């Protein structure tokens, strides 16, 4: 017996078997139950979402020998013949191959005659947008006033190409792209029924690659079963789809979390031996960053099959919410621009460099790149604490006494802190250090997590040599955090630059003689 492809074997034969498209199923079911079936339907949507499948199910509903029903029996001669594609009163037409007006006229010549076997004569026209203008004109009159025994079911992936005169004569149903979760769920059901071993991550990869099409998902699954020697595992899925192991994306994300340029470029170099699609790597990185952002935003977010929840929690604690957004935006812009780079690898590496080079003020880049390249990472005038020398934490001698508030910015530079915990420290100002307790005024606009507070407390304990206790005060008056100091100095430098430009004799001369206009928002201070 010949093998039947999964996409054909698992094609729905009733509305109950249909996956998704609930809005279409409910509307058609109610119309059939109430006996209010329109004479012309138009089903639109991308490939593989069920347009012709729904049209064939509707044909069975109209011609089932038990009567017009939303639940055809599937056992009578009419239902079986429609399933097998040999029902004489279901005329299926591929408009892509029959575009001429003569083809349409020939098709419509028999509209006036009663059905041979069924209750209705059903015309299913696929890719109807491919018909010529003359063909549409020939179809219009019949669409407007068809005989009572005729139903038109039109399907298209491009409804914008249909004349409005045709659209106005049809009930239009726009079929939605299938969400990844729904495709994954259905693939698991199919693989279980077929008794094929499968890994959740592999199923998820196939569902994502299907891009909203259930038919494509089933076809890719067929291909993966052959590629993997009868099983569906993550390694085979990545090999077939051309995606890289997620461990490589994880290494890149961890290097970003620690602001380590050396490790970041090392991870990029390691990718080269796999000859990856660098645009796909950026897509995968953006997808991981999306999950990290959700982990930071939603309590109890558990992720999905592709990334371990423990990894998401680790990255969410190590990377500030602002940096996650910056890295994500840089990744998708790099994805867009990678085709303009001298070569894909260069474009990919430049995107990674941008992620560190354009981080906000107060963020230090570690590794070999922090010597001369990190100067442009912050805003001029920002009060960024210097990183610890040699990467080793400094221990404050007990004889030094209590930390004074004015020393706080220097203390931050000496602490063994990175990522989100360092961001928390720069958004705090020291009010008082008494005994083992440090009272910190925190910017009320800045959120803090338990993980950030714990890391800051551990760093201060190392620094002081005794257990440190932190007390936070929100909105303390007349207190400025290092981050606020940096913002204020940047604003002052910007104001000074604008005033200097406005007072410049040459600028005044240009305004006087030529009516020139100065745009203050375009002025930026230069670094000293």
- What domains lie within the chain, and their CATH numbers? 6-174 (3.40.50.300), 180-241 (1.10.8.60), 246-375 (1.20.272.10), 389-483 (3.30.300.150)
Query: Is pLDDT above 80 for 172?
Result: yes
- Confidence class of residue 112 from pLDDT cuts 50, 70 and 90? confident
Long-range contacts of 60-66 (CB under 8 A, 24+ apart): 60/13, 60/14, 61/15, 61/28, 61/32, 62/32, 62/37, 62/118, 62/119, 62/120, 62/122, 62/151, 63/87, 63/89, 63/90, 63/118, 63/119, 63/120, 63/122
The stretch 63-82 carries a mean pLDDT of 92
d(CA 283, CA 348): 11
For 346-385, what is each residue's pLDDT tens digit? 999 999 988 988 765 545 555 543 333 333 333 333 444 4
In sequence order, the 6+-apart residues with CB closer than 8 A to the CB of 189 are none
- Confidence class of residue 155 from pLDDT cuts 50, 70 and 90? very high
pLDDT at site 366: 53
pLDDT at site 383: 43
pLDDT at site 410: 87
- Confidence class of residue 269 from pLDDT cuts 50, 70 and 90? confident
pLDDT at site 211: 83
pLDDT at site 419: 85
CA distances from 411 to 245, 317, 374, 430, 465 (A): 41, 22, 21, 10, 14
**Percent residues over pLDDT 70 in the chain:** 90
Rg (CA), the chain: 33
**Highest-pLDDT range among 156-165, 299-308, 512-521:** 156-165
Query: Is pLDDT above 80 for 106?
Result: no
Would you say 140 and 169 are in contact if contact means Cβ atoms under 8 Å apart?
A: yes
Type and span of the H or E element at 346: helix 344-357
For 408-465, what is each residue's pLDDT tens digit? 988 998 888 888 889 999 999 999 999 889 999 998 888 888 889 999 999 999 888 8
Query: Is pLDDT above 60 for 156?
Result: yes
Q: Tokens 């004109």 correspond to what residue?
A: 137
The stretch 302-315 carries a mean pLDDT of 80
Q: Tokens 């805003």 correspond to what residue?
A: 379
- Residue 516, both tokens: 């020139």
d(CA 377, CA 369): 11
Kindly report the pTM of this predicted structure.
0.56
d(CA 26, CA 23): 5
Q: Tokens 């509209």 correspond to what residue?
A: 111
pLDDT at site 512: 76
pLDDT at site 493: 84
- Which residue in 338, 234, 362 sits closest to 285, CA to CA? 338
Residue 44 pairs in a beta bridge with 156, 174
């Amino acid at each position: 017996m010949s093998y039947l492809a999964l996409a054909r074997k698992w094609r729905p034969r009733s509305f109950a078997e249909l996956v998704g498209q609930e809005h279409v199923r409910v509307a058609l079911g109610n119309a059939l139950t109430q006996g209010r079936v329109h004479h012309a339907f138009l089903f639109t949507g991308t490939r593989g979402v069920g347009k012709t499948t729904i049209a064939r199910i509707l044909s069975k509903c109209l011609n089932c020998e038990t009567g017009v029903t939303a639940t055809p029996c599937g056992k009578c001669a009419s239902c079986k013949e429609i399933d097998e594609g040999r029902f004489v009163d279901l005329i299926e037409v591929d408009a892509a191959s029959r575009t001429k007006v003569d083809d349409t006229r020939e098709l419509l010549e028999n509209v006036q005659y009663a059905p041979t076997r069924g209750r209705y004569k059903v015309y299913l026209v696929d890719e109807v947008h491919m018909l010529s203008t003359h063909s549409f004109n020939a179809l219009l009159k019949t669409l407007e006033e068809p005989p009572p025994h005729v139903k038109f079911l039109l399907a298209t992936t491009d409804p914008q190409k249909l004349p409005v005169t045709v659209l106005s004569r049809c009930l239009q149903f726009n079929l939605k792209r299938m969400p990844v979760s729904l495709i994954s769920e259905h693939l698991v059901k199919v693989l279980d029924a077929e008794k094929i071993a499968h890994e959740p991550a592999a199923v998820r990869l196939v569902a994502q690659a299907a891009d909203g099409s259930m038919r494509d998902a089933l076809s890719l699954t067929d291909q993966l079963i052959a590629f993997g020697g009868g099983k569906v595992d993550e390694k085979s899925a990545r090999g077939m789809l051309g995606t890289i192991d997620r461990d490589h994306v994880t290494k890149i994300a961890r290097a970003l979390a620690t602001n380590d340029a050396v490790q970041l470029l090392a991870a990029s170099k390691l990718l080269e031996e796999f000859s990856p699609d660098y645009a796909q790597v950026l897509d995968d990185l953006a997808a991981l960053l999306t999950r990290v952002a959700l982990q930071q935003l939603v309590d109890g977010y558990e992720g999905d099959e592709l990334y371990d929840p423990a990894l998401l929690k680790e990255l969410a604690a190590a990377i500030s919410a602002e940096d996650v957004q910056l890295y994500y935006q840089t990744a998708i812009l790099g994805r867009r621009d990678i085709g303009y780079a001298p070569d894909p690898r260069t474009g990919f590496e430049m995107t990674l460099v941008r992620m560190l080079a354009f981080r906000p003020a107060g963020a230090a880049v570690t590794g070999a790149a922090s010597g001369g390249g990190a100067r442009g990472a912050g805003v001029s005038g920002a009060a960024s604490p210097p990183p610890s020398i040699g990467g080793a934490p400094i221990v404050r001698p007990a004889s030094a006494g209590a930390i004074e508030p004015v020393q706080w910015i220097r203390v931050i530079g000496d602490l063994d802190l990175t990522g989100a915990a360092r961001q928390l420290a720069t958004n705090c100002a020291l009010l008082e250090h008494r005994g083992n307790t440090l009272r910190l005024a925190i910017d009320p606009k800045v959120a803090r997590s338990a993980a950030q507070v714990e890391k800051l407390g551990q760093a201060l304990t190392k620094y002081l040599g005794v257990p440190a206790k932190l007390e936070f005060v929100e909105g303390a008056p007349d207190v400025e955090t290092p981050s606020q100091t940096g913002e204020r100095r940047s604003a002052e430098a910007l104001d000074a630059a604008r005033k200097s430009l406005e007072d410049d004799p040459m600028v005044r001369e240009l305004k006087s003689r030529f009516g020139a206009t100065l745009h203050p928002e375009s002025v930026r201070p230069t670094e000293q």
